[in-house]
Structure 1
Amino acid sequence: MDLFLMSPPGRTWALRGRSNFRSREAPPVDARQARREWLALARDIEARGGTVVALPSPSELLTGMPYAAECGQVVARQGAAPLFVLPRVMSAHRQAEREHWAPLARSLGMEVVDPGVGIWEAHGDVATFDGVTLLFWGGRTTLDGLEAAARYFPGEVLRIQVREPAFHGNMAVLPLPAVDRLMVCPDVMAPESHALLRERFGEHRLLLVTEAEIRRYATNGLPVGRDVLAPSVVPDSVRERLEALGLRVVSLTMRELCEKGGGSSRCLVSRAEVDAATLNIPDAFRLSAIARDIDADG
């Protein structure tokens, strides 16, 4: 199962933390339009074979919940229920979110664990490529937070250091497994980390982009098969390079969630490959139930 944990914006959703380079100076958002943008992405994911599990926010104060990359990280285990590794986020207004994601994970049949140390922003600082787990630190996640979480990831793990404006690893690196490439922005990572990626995967497999391009979300599209679900602000130069590799870039209007809120399609999900037999998804958290509520708004 290609599993996507997501959380729709509420009817009064607004920008609260304003803690990234887009949201700091953004005008007020249109919550109704944000809900439509969220639903369009979720439906595009399921149309391509993904399974969306959606958790409505229990409080209108938890305005960060739509950016579910920080909800936690699902780690599949052979012959056992998946782990759900709780986040330890930096922003105070988001710290209560995990109190609601943990019960959802348990209701799905996962075992919930807590790293217990430092700042660790979960799926936003996790990527997998060629059987290797990449764990990122240096934006918001701290090194001690990374190390506390790392013990839950089996197999080979690479530690990659990033810097602003890449406040998460998902702004510095994007795996493109369908074409065996890793999109990388050397401008926002430590030189030794870029060297580590070159050494481990080979320079010919790295697709390089600039800081200017990641500020327009070059690395924040969501690959699903050979399609990349990307916000419309992604530069044409990046689209052309992806399409030259045989990928199809699907342009999504994300004025509220991305252009104002600062989070792209990849930021709105926590994704994992899991054995479907190990999970039980309550009907209340399936996309069909959430979609009815959003469609009812007109």
Structure 2
Amino acid sequence: MIDLFLMSPPGRGWTLRGRSNFRSKDAPPVDAQQARREWLIFARALESRGGVVVALPSPSEDLTGLPYAAEGGLMLARSGAAPLFLLPRMISPHRRGEREHWGQLARRMGLEVVDPGAGIWEAQGDVATFDGVTIVFHGVRTTREGMEAATRYFPGEVMRLELLAPAFHGNMALLPLSVVDRLLVCPEVIAPPSYALLEKRFGRERLVTVTKDEIRSYATNCLPLGKELLAPSVLPERIRALVEGLGMKVTSFVLSELCEKGGGATRCLVNHGRLEPGSFQVPEENRLAAVAARMEAEG
């Protein structure tokens, strides 16, 4: 299987437009050039670890949410058929235009593009997998209707969980660390009946709890790749020590603009799929090397 990452670099005029999370709400203006440098360092780090980055340059300066690709859709591998790409149905008006461009890219890659067709569904931001279970979230942004519309495309066992504020996506409540057989989870932002489902299905000993304050510093919003956790530099020291104590390596990335101001951590910056070799193609103009060369030429 290939680790495929859909990503979108900030434009030269990138700004915070929606300011719809607790980081961006009162943040000072961003430095777009620094954001582009942060993005490129992180994207290259993924490819240096064996991943394939497919980059979607923004077609419009108005689409300021594109760098947070986790909400851009969801890739699902299928045996004997083209992978599915489920389009998002976002709550924020300024982000609704993104799906058209992600859909176009997915089609050029040979993926079958599907619109779930109902409700609000913020895609990979509200989906996780652990121990063969697809965990899907609703509440805060994704609605129950939107979750159910998307869920009918998921194979196998599915667990539905209700999310509570201040978490606005499931990736702020729960982080699978499959390589060490643990879930980092914040009980304070998961409805009690839903948390009980987690305990019953996976066992209390596999749930490693973090606090509401720690998720504000992205304790659950990091990107695991094998035995390495790619994290923003604001990750709390307790969480770093905890993860390293479980046997993983934590690597930090400075994301002063994209994370500390923009409100999206390493897991938010990618739409991650694991697809069979030969089940997709990468348009040459969307390869990271080509997009990086254009970015560097632009300054």
- TM-score (norm. length: structure 2): 0.98
By how many angstroms is 1:49 displaced? Answer: 1.3
The whole-number CA distance in structure 1 between the counterparts of 2:33 and 2:227 is: 30
- Is residue 189 of structure 2 the alignment partner of residue 191 of structure 1? no
Q: Is the 8 A contact 1:121 1:140 kept in 2?
A: yes
- 1:145 maps to which residue? 146
How far off its partner does 1:297 sit?
Answer: 4.5
Aligned residues with identical type, % of pairs: 64
Count of aligned pairs: 298
Provide the rounded CA distance (Å) in 2 between the counterparts of 1:161 and 1:269: 23
The correspondence of residues 65-76 of structure 1 with structure 2, limited to 5 A, is: 65-76=66-77
Report SS of the residue matched to 2:134.
Answer: strand
CA separation in 2, counterparts of 1:178 and 1:293?
36
* Alignment-derived partner of residue 33 in structure 1: 34
Show the counterpart of 2:56: 55
Deviations 1:176-197 (A, max 9, x none): 1111111100010101111111
Q: Which residue of 2 aligns with 1:86?
A: 87
The AA in structure 1 aligned to 2:282 is: I
- CA drift at 1:64: 0.3
For the residues of structure 2 that align with 1:181 and 1:150, how far apart are their CA atoms? 24
Maintained 8 Å contact 1:8/1:55:
yes
CA distance in 2, matches of 1:84, 1:153: 11
CA distance in 2, matches of 1:271, 1:139: 23
Look up the match of 1:232.
233
Q: Is 1:156 matched with 2:157?
A: yes
1:157-185 Cα distance to aligned partner (Å, 9 max, x none): 00011111110000000011111111100
The equivalent of 1:45 in structure 2 is 46
Counterpart secondary structure, 1:81? coil
Match of 1:131 in 2: 132
Q: Which moved more, 1:284-293 or 1:23-32?
A: 284-293
SS at match of 1:56: coil
One-letter code aligned to 2:233: S
Q: 1:205: how far off?
A: 0.9
Structure 2 residue matching 1:267: 3-state secondary structure: coil
TM-score normalised by structure 1 residue count: 0.99
- Identify the residue that residue 100 of structure 2 maps to in structure 1: 99
**Distance in 2 (alpha carbons) for counterparts of 1:95 and 1:10:** 18
Between the aligned partners of 1:269 and 1:285, the Cα distance in structure 2 is 15
Q: Which runs of 5+ in 1 are unaligned?
A: none
RMSD across aligned positions (CA) = 0.8
1:25-45 CA distance string (max 9 Å, x none): 000000000001111111111
Partner in structure 1 of residue 250 of structure 2: 249
CA distance in 2, matches of 1:276, 1:262: 33
Deviation at 1:48, TM superposition (A): 1.2
CA distance in 1, matches of 2:6, 2:88: 14
Distance in 2 between the 1:250 and 1:214 partners?
Answer: 18
Kindly indicate whether the alpha-carbon contact (under 8 Å) linking 1:48 and 1:225 is maintained by their aligned counterparts in 2: no
The one-letter code sitting in structure 2 at the alignment partner of 1:159 is R
Provide the rounded CA distance (Å) in 1 between the counterparts of 2:296 and 2:243.
33
Q: Does the 8 Å CA contact 1:36/1:294 hold for their aligned counterparts? A: no
Distance 2:141 2:277 in 1: 32
Q: Deviations over 1:112-160 (max 9, x none)?
A: 0101110000000011111110111112000000000001111100001
Supply the AA of the counterpart residue of 1:102: G
